[in-house]
């Protein structure tokens, strides 16, 4: 918790925020991200960010549009638009999650570094409807709502554009069920 407070201080949370708000941020476990010149705690919400990208050094930067993301990360323009992006438009060595079907809606990009990402820290638990694994590693999404931690393998490749089509072992589908992303 002290590290999170220090990071908030180091990043200089905007002048409009109150001491109470800072206290509130510090009370939550969450990933802090840069967004529009300020800092947001993804566990508390994304504001109107559309893409949150965790760099391989661990820093998270959020963007309001595909164009802003590409400019901010020094990437060439995308070949096509939201929902129809070519596979090579997604970063290599990443697992990408989408809130919407057909690779649309808010998108979270996590580096495949081996180990687990806890999606609640990113404000993305029970939200993923699409997933792509652009790493050379095997990836899984995991539902921690059950004692046996059911998982769905996401091999490298085209991924799942609509998790409502993937049956969940405890009934229903994988749509809006993932709580962890594991790679390794
Ligand atoms: Ca969703
Ligand atoms: Ca879940």
Q: Express each pLDDT in 113-157 by its tens digit.
A: 999 999 999 999 999 999 999 999 999 999 999 999 999 999 998
If you measure from the C-alpha of residue 7 to the centroid of ligand 1, how many angstroms do you get, rounded to a whole number?
30
Summarize the confidence of residues 30-36 as an average pLDDT: 97
User: Tokens 């792509």 appear where?
Assistant: 132
pLDDT digits (tens, 9 = 90+) for 86-114: 667 888 999 999 999 999 999 999 999 99
If you measure from the C-alpha of residue 141 to the centroid of ligand 2, how many angstroms do you get, rounded to a whole number?
10
pLDDT digits (tens, 9 = 90+) for 34-49: 999 999 999 999 999 9
Q: Where are the domains of the chain?
A: 2-183
Cβ–Cβ < 8 Å for 74, 43: no
If you measure from the C-alpha of residue 98 to the centroid of ligand 1, how many angstroms do you get, rounded to a whole number?
7
How far are the Cα atoms of 96, 151, 177, 178 from residue 146, in angstroms, in the given order?
24, 10, 11, 11
Q: Which ligand is nearest to the CA of 163?
A: 1
| Residue 81 pLDDT level (bands cut at 50, 70, 90) | low
Q: Which fold has domain 2-183?
A: Gamma-B Crystallin; domain 1 (2.60.20)
Based on the number of CB atoms within 10 Å of its own CB, is 117 exposed (0-12), middle (13-18) or buried (19 or more)?
Answer: buried
Q: What is residue 46's three-state secondary structure?
A: coil
Q: What is the pLDDT of residue 21?
A: 47
pTM: predicted TM-score of the whole model, two decimal places:
0.83
Q: Is the pLDDT of residue 11 over 50?
A: no
Q: What is the pLDDT of residue 9?
A: 38
Q: Is the pLDDT of residue 8 over 50?
A: no
């Amino acid at each position: 918790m002290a590290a999170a407070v220090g990071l908030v201080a180091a990043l200089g949370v905007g002048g409009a925020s109150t001491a109470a708000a800072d206290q509130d941020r510090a009370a939550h476990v969450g990933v802090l991200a840069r967004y529009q010149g300020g800092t947001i705690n993804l566990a508390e919400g994304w504001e109107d960010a559309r893409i949150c990208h965790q760099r391989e050094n661990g820093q998270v930067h959020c963007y309001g549009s595909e164009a802003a993301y590409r400019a901010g990360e020094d990437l060439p323009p995308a070949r096509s638009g939201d929902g129809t992006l070519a596979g090579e438009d997604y970063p290599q060595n990443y697992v990408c999650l989408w809130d919407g079907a057909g690779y649309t809606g808010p998108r979270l990009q996590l580096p495949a570094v081996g180990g687990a990402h806890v999606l609640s820290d990113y404000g993305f638990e029970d939200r993923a409807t699409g997933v792509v694994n652009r790493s050379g590693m095997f990836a899984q999404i995991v539902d921690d709502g059950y004692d046996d931690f059911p998982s769905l393998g996401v091999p490298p490749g085209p991924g799942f554009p609509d998790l409502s089509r993937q049956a969940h072992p405890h009934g229903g589908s994988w749509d809006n069920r993932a709580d962890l992303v594991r790679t390794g």
